[in-house]
Chains A and B, each alone.
Chain A
Amino acid sequence: MKKVSFALNGIVQHWEVADGETLLASLRREGYFGVKFGGCEKGECGACTVLLDGKPVNSCSLLTVQVEGCHVQTIEGMGEHPDQGWKKTAGLHPIQQALVESGAIQCGYCTPAFALAAKALLEKNPNPSEEEVREAIAGILCRCTGYLKPVQAILKAASILRGEVDEQDWIEDTGVPLPVDWPSGADQSPAPAGDFGSPEKLVLTRRKVFMPRMFITPEVRQKTLSRVGKPELKVDAIKLVQGKPAFAADMEKRGMLIAKVLHSPVAHARIKHIDLSKARALPGVAAVLCYKDIPRVVYSTAGQSDPIPGPLDTFSLDSKVRFVGDRVAFVAAETEEIAEQALNLIEVEYEPLPAILDARDAMKPNAPIIHDEPEYVNFGESNPQRNLAAQIHIDIGDVEKGFEEADRIYEAEYVVPKVQQAHIEPHVVVTYWDEDDRLVIRTSTQVPFHVRRILAPVLGLPVKRIRVIKPRIGGGFGGKQEVLIEDVAAHLTIATGRPVLYEYTREEEFIAARSRHPMRIRMKTGVKMDGTITANEMRVLSDTGAYGCHGLTVTGNTGHKSMALYVGDGPYRKSPNIRFYADVVYTNTPPAGAYRGYGVPQGFWPVERHMERISRDLGLDPIAFRLKNAIREGELHPFSTAWSEGREPRPEIIQTVGLEECVRQGKAVIGWDQKFGNPEWHVVAGKPYLRRGIGVALVMQGTAIPYLDMGGASIKMNDDGSFNLLVGATDLGTGSDTVLAQMAAEVLGVPVDDIIVYSSDTDFTPFDKGAYASSTTYISGAAVVKAAEDVAEKIKKRAARMIKEQHPSVQVSPEDILLEDRKAIAPGGEYVTLAQVALNALHHTDQEQIMGIGSYYSPVSPPPFAAQFAEVTVDVETGQITVDRLVMAVDSGVIVNPVTASGQIEGGMTQALGYAVCEEMVYDQYGRAREKDLVDYHIFRANEMPKLETVFVQTYEPSHPFGVKAVAEIPMDGVAPAVGNAVLDACGADVFENPITPERLWRALKEKQSVADHH
């Protein structure tokens, strides 16, 4: 131990630390939870950034003993809530304020790092260029925002700090002017031609928020809403920008143990012998568990509603391991170091079994059987004897006849990779017994209610003795729609009686978390010479890895969405011919699971690459060809009567399709007509080895799972006329708490900050299936509206009575009352305030708690649509691709909050860009992961980004009270194929497998050259 004296946020500290402790560990131990653990401990993510003598450094790569005599700053020293009862403070730092107001905060996990890096930058350089800002934050990875809004926020803060803007102007809510819209009408040009999409020209509202472009249909324009549709500040932004201890690991518990897991080093083996005695004997070890120590309960880790649409094939611990990274034993110890040491003392003898590492080998006759356990529970067509986790056969119309009627048939095989969600907050859970002997699970999850239901049998506890708390989540993207590690901590708490923290490292995220299903996809499409699609077939081999979890539903979605877009034209439009066959197989690789887009990006890579190639081969305009065959308003979703995840399918008519408008808007923004087919634009002066290209992809997604997933909400009125909104819905950084509050505020006629949102806790909030399937705004939103309407009705009844008492001459019935400006107003203008109503209800007359509850499930899953565009520059000698620009015009129905929604689009496009050009997970011949950190697995940084632009085409979806459809997943779908098509446009090389790495493109170019040489 050494004494260290240093200044922390301006206050001198004398700490006693071990020589080897990093500053990250010391700060968190001392309660500075604004310094975040990104799991890497090697300087790759920047979540642990602090300022050391004014300069940003990674506190994970700095020993605490080294800061002797230095100045250290953390977010805790930057600014605080301005109003603390009778005490007023200086408030937030202008950088924090700008981050809040610009919508730069999504999950908020990396926000403290951004704020500190910005502070260091602006102290040195008060007038930075955008490029300098991007460089300054390049060391901080963010997986939510796409960096656009953080960069805008820092530029805005710079201008405030330079004194250019009256500070008051930023904070004051002047009511937000309507965003831009362009006149609708078929023959009006949607926007001036050419390249006008630079961020400077984006619209700045009076509250100085960068707004995305909007196209508003007349149906939407008719609705006058005061809260829905406005760029309200995120309800959780203030706490996140201060780095408050809001995340699962940001807590202290006396006696808390640290959990570690021994992961299998081999791909497929039986545990012949395991000896835990030495590990157990190590001082400081509280428990070591292997499969012999806990009950053998088969379950599925997929966070889905009951019954889980997939096989039950998983055990907390088993005598067999099925992938490198599978669990062998659990340890709980006083410190992380002791736990690690204990892992090294566990002696295991494996009996190796042959492993399947390539999905194409899984169903070969003599393939080893990965799931031979007798407890295996089948679902649908699963068949463990054939390593088949699921199988799907969907035939719509008469596909063979369609092929016969075609003039040409196009066939090709496409390959999509396994990729990682890579949320910056790793999986993390804390478990403990409460004073009622109920097990509390505080976990970073998207599905708290599913966690409780699924784990109850695994732990031997009834549901009623488990409480799951979801604090703030540092990103999930589907990775946390999995009951992945909660059982580890829970078993160890049961074994020891003590609180347990289990936090994944970045390496564990790569070897033992979930990922996107890799697939091989064969397309076969019949087309007439005029471009009419007569039949379309997709055959998929999907690799679920060692466990089946989301295999069926993800793979089903691949066809259900991507193959529904092109129904054909003419007679084919009325009865499309579509086939979708899929085998979902087991391999001895880490399981795939849910990842934003949920199978659909895997479908649109082949579909949209295929459509591009067909249109070019037929000499047709690629966009006209697509629109000719695309599904239209009022048509039946072709899959709705064919397949519903193993449940009974029921017809769904698609009521809103803004696809043509998306194409028009997107083309105008990117300047399609000036670039596509224009040879001059395709070359770069002075650089003969560079070529430019432009590409498009049209896509659709779904909104929620019909007849299945339910969301609930309750609202309670307080003495002052404010409301508690309790939702089971799970905000994982997406902004759902905010849009739900906006909907409640709209109905109740109050500002958004009168709605105190709490999500989610299985003890306190109503049930919600959780955050997945693009459903929260739609499903949980509808539930909130119902609850709010329930409350509004009670308020109006009481208000009518109160107004009558005050104005005996006035005739007023509850239906005539309007809730607005925190008042209940009669048609004649007489009113009572909501605070008066609340006091009246709680204390004065006919006392009652004004409260409402609502729940909602949907009979339909209205698809959002989008046109996604990409512009690239290709180096034809090296194969290097630079994506210069991404534009997405999207019909997500009514946009509840343009800032949070565009944040979703920007972040989604950025993840999808990784899928397009650099992200993939590969395994060696022993099944060991090649990528185990965020250096080798490259995700985009702020200084590597293309220009991102969003256009919202707002249709009014009649099935929702405010006309909304989903936003969050669809941006994942079209980027990779648009980039692939742009690459084709640039250099004529066809790449069938993404990501299009430099080497892959170089090989495709070589191939093209050798074909050309041949002719």
Chain B
Amino acid sequence: MKPAPFEYYAPTSVEEALATLQSLGYDGKVLAGGQSLIPAMNFRMARPAALVDLNKVKELFYIKPTSDGGLAIGTMTRDSVVEKDPLVSERFPIVPYVVKHIAHPQIRNRGTFGGAIAHADPAAQIPALSVALQARFLVRKQGGERWVNAEDFFMGPFMTVLEPEEMLAEVVLPPMAKGSGASYQQVSRQKGGYAQAAVISVVVVDENKRCKDVRVVLFSVGETPILSQTARKILVGNVPTAEAIAEVAEKISKDEVDPGTDIHGTAEYRRHLVKVLVRRGLTEAFERAK
């Protein structure tokens, strides 16, 4: 079915987009890849009064190296571009590996890196990835901007700190520290399905193989991506033994996740999956760490 009627704006610059958003206030909605928004409008689950389409804003499509060894990704960069970009695989090999798990080529050819973050689907990969990689988001509005840490960005299912007149403009990934390793683990009914539970693990070890930092981010098992504190408490400063990893996995699955029972699985099963996936993920990440 056709979406409910709306005003359509196709700005060609960020300034113009921000001005439009400012003037529309609560009536305006950013259209990025449209892979979530247009279906929602087709079903009239979303009825924005006005759309501000960023697809003609050329300055939002980019992947740039930062001088410290990280990356700056323009919000409109398509998933399929991130997936295949050589610089991304060189600096953050975990990123294309995770992005490949998103739906399928048609969706990734349109869906955007920033759109997935702004959409804040609790079952989506990119929000969790941004938390695991300590991404920083550049949020802009007319006449102003602010930086938000990924950890502070997600408020609940499909809810973020973005105000209606604001736009996510850029995602900055700080460089992976020396001695880093990462792993992605998910279970879904079949390969292409949404994850029943998933975990992204990023670890850093020192020369003595001691854990310097560990970021375990779980998703599909709570309202937002969940960054584990337990993993840090138990592992940082220590050599990650199998027992310690098992203990972390056990504790996370008990105390830190809050899976619901839904169509994809019961809470009990998902808690169990968390335990298995955290164990496997940490083991693999530490193996890869160098």
Contact = CB atoms under 8 A, between A and B. Distances in A.
B247 to A, nearest CB: 17
Interface stretch (A52-60, A78-86, A169-177, A728-736): A52-60
A878 B6 contact: no
B243 interface: no
Nearest to B187: A878
Interface stretch (B65-73, B143-151, B153-161, B192-200): B192-200
B104 A918 contact: no
Contact of A938 (B53, B106, B107, B189): B189
A22 B110 CA distance: 14
A135 B187 contact: no
A944 interface: yes
Contacts of A139: 103-107
B276 interface: yes
Interface string A915-952: 00110001000000011000110101101100000000
Interface residues of B, number: 44
Contacts of B35: 43, 61
A62 B192 contact: no
Interface in A22-65: 22, 25, 41-43, 46, 49, 52, 55-58, 60-63, 65
Contacts of B41: 20
A6 interface: no
Interface in A874-896: 877-878, 880
A341 to B, nearest CB: 10
Nearest to A340: B1
A912 interface: no
Contacts of A117: 105-106
A998 B196 contact: yes
Contacts of B104: 46, 135, 138-139, 941, 943
B6 A19 contact: yes
Interface in B32-75: 34-35, 38-39, 41-43, 51, 53, 55-56
Interface string A671-703: 000000000000000000000000000000000
A58 B2 contact: no
Contacts of A1002: 269, 272
Nearest to B42: A41
A483 to B, nearest CB: 26
A55 B189 contact: no
Contacts of A25: 2
Contacts of A337: 1-2
B191 A20 contact: no
A18 interface: yes
B273 interface: yes
B242 to A, nearest CB: 12
Nearest to B8: A19
A941 B4 CA distance: 32
B206 to A, nearest CB: 27
B109 interface: yes
B6 A68 contact: no
A425 to B, nearest CB: 18
A68 B2 contact: no
Taking each of B110, B187, B190, which has the highest tally of chain A beta carbons within 10 Å of its own beta carbon?
Answer: B190
B42 A22 contact: yes
B39 A42 contact: yes
Contacts of B192: 138, 938, 941, 943-944
A66 B35 CA distance: 13
A135 B1 contact: no
A944 B191 contact: yes
B193 A66 contact: no
Contacts of B7: 19
A336 interface: yes
Given A63-B8, A63-B38, A999-B265, A57 B110 contact: yes
A52 B266 CA distance: 40
A630 interface: no
B3 interface: yes
B24 interface: no
Contacts of A41: 1, 39, 42-43
B38 A944 contact: no
A136 interface: yes
A650 interface: no
Interface in B185-225: 187, 189-194, 196
Contacts of A918: 189-190, 193
B120 to A, nearest CB: 18
Given A19-B7, A935-B193, A944-B191, 4 more contacts: A20-B2, A20-B3, A43-B103, A878-B276
20 contacts: A19-B5, A20-B2, A20-B5, A41-B1, A41-B42, A55-B80, A58-B106, A60-B42, A61-B38, A61-B110, A68-B10, A117-B106, A139-B104, A336-B1, A878-B276, A918-B189, A930-B263, A938-B193, A998-B189, A999-B269
Interface of B: 1-8, 10, 34-35, 38-39, 41-43, 51, 53, 55-56, 80, 103-107, 109-110, 187, 189-194, 196, 263, 265-266, 269, 272-273, 276-277
Interface of A: 2, 18-22, 25, 41-43, 46, 49, 52, 55-58, 60-63, 65-66, 68, 117, 135-136, 138-139, 335-337, 340, 877-878, 880, 917-918, 922, 930-931, 935-936, 938, 940-941, 943-944, 997-999, 1002-1003
